[in-house]
């Protein structure tokens, strides 16, 4: 009888340890940081800008969202063509998936004057063609799922 209870105890202990070991191996995918996502967006967006200068753009909105919250933002077919290379087609947005939503807008133009140059202030060059850009990035893989540029033309 003692032998059977020892076997049962050892088996239960082994199953407990094995179960916890497997649970530690199976973790949810790690979410990308905000900085990583902003780098991904800029790499994709840069060729479409006239200045190709990241400091001329500000992040108007950066947030974690579900597809359900932003699907309407990307479902509209753009009326105008933006400068730069043609954009790839947007992928399907899954309503229950988590994404990073990023909106960038051009910084306000700073007229060039000698006073600004003497103080070391950064001169902002106008971005005449793109009013804003919206991106949807998969929160774990970093793949750009959708993008939309808003242009004057």
> What are the tens digits of pLDDT across the range 60-116?
999 999 999 999 999 876 655 787 788 889 999 999 999 999 999 998 876 666 555
Does residue 4 lie within any of the structural domains? no
Does residue 55 lie within any of the structural domains? yes
Does residue 94 lie within any of the structural domains? yes
Task: Return the half-sphere exposure (C-beta side, CA atoms, 13 A cut-off) of residue 8.
Answer: 5
Does residue 99 lie within any of the structural domains? yes
Domain that holds residue 143: 30-151
Rounded CA separation 31/46 (Å):
24
Does residue 43 lie within any of the structural domains? yes
What is the count of structural domains for the chain?
Answer: 1
Does residue 129 lie within any of the structural domains? yes
Query: What residues contact residue 85 under an 8 Å CB cut-off, 6+ apart?
Result: 47, 48
Query: What residues contact residue 42 under an 8 Å CB cut-off, 6+ apart?
Result: 54, 57
Does residue 138 lie within any of the structural domains? yes
Rounded CA separation 77/88 (Å):
13
pTM (global) more than 0.95 = no
């Amino acid at each position: 009888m003692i032998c059977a209870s020892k076997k049962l105890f050892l088996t239960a202990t082994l199953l407990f340890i094995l179960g916890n070991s497997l649970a530690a191996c199976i973790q949810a995918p790690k979410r990308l940081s905000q900085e990583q996502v902003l780098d991904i967006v800029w790499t994709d967006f840069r060729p479409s800008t006239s200045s190709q200068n990241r400091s001329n753009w500000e992040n108007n909105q950066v947030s974690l969202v579900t597809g359900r919250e932003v699907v309407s933002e990307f479902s509209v077919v753009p009326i105008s063509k933006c400068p730069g290379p043609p954009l790839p087609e947007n992928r399907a947005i899954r309503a229950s998936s988590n994404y990073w939503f990023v909106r960038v807008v051009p910084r306000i133009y700073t007229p060039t004057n000698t006073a600004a140059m003497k103080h070391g202030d950064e001169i902002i060059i106008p971005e005449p063609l793109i009013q804003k850009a919206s991106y949807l990035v998969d929160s774990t893989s970093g793949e750009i799922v959708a993008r939309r540029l808003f242009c004057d033309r």
